[in-house]
Amino acid sequence: MSEACFVCGRKANRQCPAGSTLEPDPGVVDESIQVLRPICSGCCGKGRRRTIDCPDSCTHMHAAAMSALLKLVDLSQDPDFELRHSEVLHNLRVGVSHIRRNRVPDLRDSEARQAFANVADTLRTRSSGLIYNFRSPDPRVQTLSDELVTVVTLHLRGGKGMVKVDAATLMQCLKYLERQAAAAEKEERGASYFLDLVVQSVASVFVTREPDGLVGKLTEDEEGNAVLDLGRFEATKTGEERTQSGFPASE
């Protein structure tokens, strides 16, 4: 007798290693104690990092993370920009994922788009010598904006082991993410299609401090050509190493 999906009750065709759901607060999953639950492919895909707290060690999560990053690149139609600024974009997405998971779980693409625009405009005015912060009357948008400012500030200063980046480049990265969010809205695949992809593309190690992580990173092939490695899995051992590709969630 085949097992039934623990979500919908239909016939299961895979095993889910998630130890908790994302409703309302999963906490940190101890992956050393792994309990597999039967799940069907439909519920696996529908709930991935939305209602199911998928661990980075899940094989299906590996494939989904690679797919999510490729779909994000497709939204902007600019793979060269993704390659050149992969570290900064990753860190900004970590900030977005942190807010989506821990502060505003029902954040919408339109709100993320506005937050990217506000922080980019704040950088622009500061670069011209004016001290003015573009703030939103919507606390949800402002919550994300504040998190993005934290990431941007760390890159401007080269703090916490993160690469130092000039304001003009950071503005370009924010506008790039703004374009992706806008493109996702036009596709009309739901109010959070862009954000779902962002959360799936970022390893939970950077958001929950779990022991291992998936990092989409810039690398080289055998001939020395730069490629975007979407399937490179690494075990990060120290907080200092984590900040090379993402800042700790508590910052």
d(CA 50, CA 196): 7
Check: CB of residue 89 under 8 Å from CB of residue 97: no
Indicate the pTM of the whole model: 0.75
Which pLDDT score, from 0 to 100, does residue 50 have? 83
- Amino acid occupying residue 107: L
Q: How far is CA 195 from the centre of its chain?
A: 8
Which pLDDT score, from 0 to 100, does residue 56 have? 82
**Which of 118, 180, 172 has the alpha carbon at shortest distance from 149?**
118
Check: CB of residue 141 under 8 Å from CB of residue 133: no
Which stretches of the chain score pLDDT less than 50?
1, 23-29, 31, 209-220, 225-251
Cα-only R_g, the chain: 18
Which pLDDT score, from 0 to 100, does residue 203 have? 77
Residues with Cβ within 8 Å of 24's Cβ and at least 6 positions away in sequence, in order, are none
Which pLDDT score, from 0 to 100, does residue 18 have? 86
Which pLDDT score, from 0 to 100, does residue 104 have? 96
d(CA 61, CA 169): 31
Which pLDDT score, from 0 to 100, does residue 142 have? 97
pLDDT in tens, 202-247: 877 666 543 232 233 444 456 654 443 433 333 333 333 333 333 2
Let me know how many helices (H) and strands (E) the chain has, helices first.
10, 4
